[in-house]
Amino acid sequence: MFYRVVIDSTRCHSRKPLNHPHSNFIMVDWNDPVLEAKLAILSVHLSYIVFGLYGWEYIRSSQVEIALLRRQLPFRWSLLSYVAARSSFMITMVLRATQLSPFPTNVDCQCMNSIIIFMTNAAIGCSTTNFMIRTWLIWKTSYLLRLLLVLLSLGHWALLILFPVAARSTTINGVCMIHFIKRAYTSAVVIYSMLYDLALLVLTIIGLLRMPSDSTLWKTLVKQGVIYFILNFVANLILLVLNRLNLNPVMNDIFALPAACICTIASNQVVLSLLRLLPNHESSDNPSSVKVAPLTTNFTMPWYPSVAEA
């Protein structure tokens, strides 16, 4: 697992003394089977942690789905990506927990991982679409820029959909893991996502600067929107670094679920921050006239009573 690197002298062809302060280096052999087994166990524990975190977040923010089922909240097309992102990642975590269950299951590793990757990418794509919708609403007067957003979104979805085809899975130390995938393709997906998020962040800031500084919508997006873009960018950056290091198959994939979880939760909060607006936010042409409730853990929709009475 560990080995010592001995620096040879090229001139005298003799080894330096071992007590030399610069002659001993301790490096990790990331391809050691024992280390890979320990990392596989760590990946399993991390998956359960992500499952618990997202399950808690899903339950505490499920008021939108409940309101839609009870017809207390009118369905809008912008909510489709929100609901799809949450449902897709929940399905991902349930399948992952089933796959890692200590109880024996007769499920093909390649088939199960392909479904998990597809559902994870669907959650990421819908989450990024939530970010795009926010930028779309800010630039509602620029049709050319909206067209650019649509093209960028289609390119992102194309990369995500083709990703499961390039992945090959196998069982490593009893754990079903992604064993082979082209690093160039993985890097391309992550880099495109980062640049896409960065473009959305820049366009959001430019669009906000064009609004009045005292606009309530402006303040809401600055306080609650920009931070979500940054979180998503940092999560993808960590994933990219691990992929480029290529330490071993386990390390290449170990941060994939946490990054997807951060992306999904962040985009959910973006949508919820807009849904906390009063009912006239949908038809109001002047964002400065809209009042926003504070971003708290308890999610309330002040228009429920009026809808119920009707």
- The residues that bridge with 178 in the sheet, in sequence order, are 169
DSSP structure class, residue 72: S
Output the six-digit token pair for 270. 């973006």
Report helix, strand or coil for 48.
Answer: helix
Tens digit of each residue's pLDDT, the chain (310 residues):
444 333 344 444 444 444 544 445 567 778 888 888 888 888 889 999 999 999 999 998 888 888 888 888 888 887 899 999 999 999 999 988 888 877 766 777 778 888 888 999 999 999 999 888 888 878 888 889 999 999 999 999 999 988 777 677 766 666 666 666 777 788 888 899 989 988 888 888 888 787 666 566 666 666 666 777 788 888 888 988 888 888 887 788 888 899 999 999 988 887 887 776 544 444 444 433 333 333 333 333 333 333 333 3
pLDDT in the model for residue 222: 66
Output the six-digit token pair for 295. 């971003």
pLDDT in the model for residue 3: 41
pLDDT in the model for residue 35: 86
- The three-point CA angle 266-53-173 to 5° equals 115
